């Protein structure tokens, strides 16, 4: 079992990103205690890595989504 910090280090992301993956369901994790945080199985992490290597990465930041202008919204409703 890996800690959030260990997963973050291995994936080269912040611990907050790992927690976001866990709470969104992208990465299975077990809550141990409030103080200890989550634990992630190595096999679950490897599965996430394999999915990301074989497909397009999941977009998690709202600013990464394409912007739709007002004119585009109006024309798509008709």
Q: What is the pLDDT of residues 3-36, one digit of tens each?
A: 999 999 999 999 999 999 999 999 999 999 888 8
Q: Closest Cα partner for 24 from 1, 49, 55, 48?
A: 48
Domains and CATH numbers, the chain: 2-64 (1.10.1660.10)
What pLDDT, on a 0 to 100 scale, did the predictor assign at position 40? 97
The predicted-structure confidence for 34-70, as pLDDT tens digits, reads as follows: 888 999 999 999 999 998 887 544 545 444 445 555 4
Predicted local distance difference test score (pLDDT) of residue 36: 84
3-state secondary structure 1-46: CEEHHHHHHHHCCCHHHHHHHHHHCCCCCEEEECCCEEEECHHHHH
Give pLDDT, residue 43.
96
């Amino acid at each position: 079992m890996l800690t959030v910090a260990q997963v973050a280090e291995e994936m080269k992301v912040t611990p907050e990103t790992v927690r976001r993956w866990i709470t969104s369901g992208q990465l299975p994790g077990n809550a141990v205690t409030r103080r200890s945080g989550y634990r992630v199985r190595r096999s679950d992490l490897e599965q996430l890595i394999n999915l990301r290597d074989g497909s397009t990465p999941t977009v998690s930041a709202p600013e990464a989504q394409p912007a739709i202008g007002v004119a585009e919204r109006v024309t798509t409703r008709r």
